[in-house]
Amino acid sequence: MTRISQWPVPRDSIRYVIPEPVIRALAEHPLTRDLYPVAFGHYRKAAGHHMHREYHNDDLLIYCTEGEAYLRIGEEPCVVRGGDLVLLPAGAAHRYTAAPDNPWSIHWVHYTGPLAPDFRKHMGFGKSAHVLHLGRQPRLLVDFNGLLSVRQTGFRTPGLVHVANRLRQLLAAVPLSAGETIQAQQPDLELIHGFMREHLDERISLNQLADLAGLSPAHFATRYRALTGVSPIQHFLHLKVEQACQMLDTTELSFTQISDLLGYDDNYYFSRLFKKVMGQSPTDYRHTRRH
């Protein structure tokens, strides 16, 4: 049996619990038995909201729209903030508490059925990934509010078939919202590459580039490689080697002087990097006949 929070629901919040006999009917109906809700709702600024479950037999999806809560799944603590989508899978011990000074507002749904594990994977949740950082997603809000359309229908079968399929629509659309979030978080390559070109005479760090993109270094490096196929520092090195080739072709500067102009005190080190990229030493490159 689903254990629902006993938090006293104020007038501007909603908690809808489907009766056990109706849940058994949903589990047998051909249009709902693969996936069906057992309870859902919307809590606004849920001060004092807390729950501790050692075990539960359904999946719980929570979309935090504002505020914060402290969450622990097993032994892993985290803070849930506005824009986070949380999945607490069946069987996972957990506890959560709304932040006293900034309580969360949430849409939530308990659901179950044979397709629940497949939808976990479809949405992007895994064994250690329980929170997706989606930001504000109007599509998700529409889908959660769609669940509430079943209220005041007297638990009749047509309304519950409708809400079960609205639930399926909600879960199926999560990757679309996640994709929009990822796209919005992509680094501006024109800005990043312009910065690199302007600082070819320096040694820049991953942290500098990540700060410019407004991302953590690890997140920036992952996003950059996904977009370009190389690491940001590797691309910066390639730009330096390209510039060194241009200077070898068009000036009489020694490679030591070129290395210095490109921010390398150790020209032997840069020479090794040059050969690794170009497949030949700077001296061989300069004396190769090219048209």
CATH number at residue 84: 2.60.120.280
The one-letter amino acid code at 6 reads Q
Checking if the pLDDT of 280 tops 80, the result is yes
5 within some domain: no
pLDDT in tens, 201-238: 998 999 889 888 877 888 788 878 877 888 999 999 99
- Total structural domains within the chain: 2
pLDDT band at 255 (very low <50, low <70, confident <90, very high): very high
Same domain (yes/no): 74, 140:
yes
Q: How many angstroms separate the CA atoms of 63 and 134, rounded?
A: 9
3 within some domain: no
246 within some domain: yes
pLDDT band at 1 (very low <50, low <70, confident <90, very high): low
- The confidence score (pLDDT) of residue 291 equals 46
The model's pTM is: 0.63
Q: How many angstroms separate the CA atoms of 33 and 150, rounded?
A: 18
Nearest Cα to 126, choosing from 82, 92, 80, 75? 92
Same domain (yes/no): 62, 145:
yes
Same domain (yes/no): 276, 225:
yes
Same domain (yes/no): 59, 101:
yes
Mean pLDDT, residues 27-49 taken together: 95
Between the CA of residue 75 and those of 3, 28, 78, 88, 101, what are the distances in Å?
Answer: 21, 36, 10, 14, 24
* Range(s) of the domain holding residue 206: 189-287
1 within some domain: no
End-to-end Cα separation, the chain, in angstroms: 79
Same domain (yes/no): 193, 136:
no
Query: Could you give the angle at which helices 189-198 and 217-228 cross, rounded to 10 degrees?
Result: 100
Same domain (yes/no): 216, 266:
yes
Mean pLDDT, residues 127-149 taken together: 86
CATH number of the domain enclosing 240: 1.10.10.60
Q: Which residue has the higher pLDDT, 190 or 240?
A: 240
Same domain (yes/no): 180, 64:
yes
Same domain (yes/no): 106, 148:
yes
- The confidence score (pLDDT) of residue 185 equals 54
Checking if the pLDDT of 173 tops 70, the result is yes
Angle ∠(254,258,262) on CA atoms, nearest 5: 170
Which of 26-35, 70-79, 126-135, 178-187: highest mean pLDDT?
26-35
Same domain (yes/no): 72, 116:
yes
Checking if the pLDDT of 180 tops 80, the result is no
Half-sphere exposure in the Cβ direction for 182 (13 Å, CA): 14
Same domain (yes/no): 103, 219:
no
pLDDT in tens, 7-19: 788 888 999 999 9
Which of 132-136, 160-164, 207-211: highest mean pLDDT?
160-164
pLDDT band at 128 (very low <50, low <70, confident <90, very high): confident
